[in-house]
């Protein structure tokens, strides 16, 4: 396992190399630390599921609303609603086209949680990646998300390839989650 400071000029390139090679990173977001893998790589997702001790839907980072819309399968009326609400600390679950990510992280009816981060590191990671990157809390199933680097390393250093250290994160709560349902955004988590 390698550790790199989030402000290191090579942090994004280093993280991308690990992800593109099928590895797992932990990185700071604008809410909490997240596990990152190539969202189209079934093997990487399976490894992440073993670490988290659960299977199921995961969200991904997107660099901008244009990219989200290119992935999505939504009506023109819904586009403005999604664009207006898709920002930093919000995740929106929308229907997506086949082949965007592995079926292993999709929700019911071909849906995917997407998020455009305000965090500079995350945004650059999303912009430079060939595939979407997962953003899921750093914890085991039914455990609290970890935001303290010392505790993260104590728990996960033997199971990940790279830790991007952003220090202790003040916010201790994940993003707000909304789902697009019949032309309206329904809040699932505040």
Ranges assigned E (strand) in the chain: 2-5, 25-28, 33-36, 59-61, 90-95, 111-115, 133-137, 162-165, 176-181, 184-189
Instruction: Provide the pLDDT for residue 79.
Output: 85
pLDDT on residue 172: 67
Higher-confidence residue of 87 and 13: namely 13
Q: What is the pLDDT of residue 174?
A: 80
Q: Is 91 helix (H, G, I), strand (E, B) or coil?
A: strand
The full set of domain ranges for the chain reads: 2-189
pTM score, whole prediction: 0.94
CATH superfamily of 2-189: DHBP synthase (3.90.870.10)
Nearest residue to 24 (alpha-carbon basis) of 8, 47, 50, 6: 47
- pLDDT confidence of residue 189: 81
d(CA 185, CA 178): 6
For residue range 141-157, list pLDDT tens digits in order: 989 999 999 999 999 99
Whole-number Å distance between alpha carbons of 49 and 46: 5
For residue 123, pLDDT beyond 70: yes
Average pLDDT over residues 108-118: 94
Token digits of residue 102: 């592995």
pLDDT at 173: 76
Q: What is the pLDDT of residue 87?
A: 78
User: Are β-strands 59-61 and 184-189 bridged in parallel, bridged antiparallel, or unpaired?
Assistant: unpaired
Q: Which residue has the tokens 């992935």?
A: 71
The string of pLDDT tens digits covering residues 9-62 is 999 999 999 999 999 999 999 889 999 999 999 999 999 999 999 998 999 999
Residues with Cβ within 8 Å of residue 135, at least 6 apart in sequence: 29, 34, 35, 36, 58, 59, 60, 61, 115, 117, 122
The string of pLDDT tens digits covering residues 162-190 is 999 999 987 667 888 999 998 899 999 87
* DSSP 8-state symbol, 104: G
pLDDT of residue 73: 84
């Amino acid at each position: 396992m390698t550790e790199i400071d989030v402000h290191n000029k090579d942090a994004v390139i280093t993280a991308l190399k690990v992800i593109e090679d099928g590895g797992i990173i932990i990185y700071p977001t604008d809410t909490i630390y997240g596990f990152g893998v190539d969202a189209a790589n079934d093997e990487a997702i399976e490894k992440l599921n073993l670490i988290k001790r659960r299977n199921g839907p995961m969200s991904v980072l997107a660099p901008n609303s244009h990219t989200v819309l290119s992935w999505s399968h939504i009506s023109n009326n819904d586009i403005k609603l999604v664009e207006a609400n898709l920002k930093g600390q919000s995740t929106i679950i929308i229907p997506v086209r086949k082949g965007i990510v592995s079926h292993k992280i999709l929700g019911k009816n071909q849906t995917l949680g997407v998020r455009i981060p305000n965090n500079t590191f995350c945004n650059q990671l999303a912009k430079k990646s060939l595939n979407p990157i997962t953003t899921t809390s750093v914890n085991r199933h039914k455990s609290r998300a970890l935001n303290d680097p010392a505790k993260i390393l104590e728990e996960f250093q033997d199971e990940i390839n790279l830790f991007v250290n952003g220090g202790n994160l003040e916010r201790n709560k994940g993003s707000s989650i909304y789902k697009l349902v019949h032309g309206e955004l329904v809040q699932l988590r505040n």
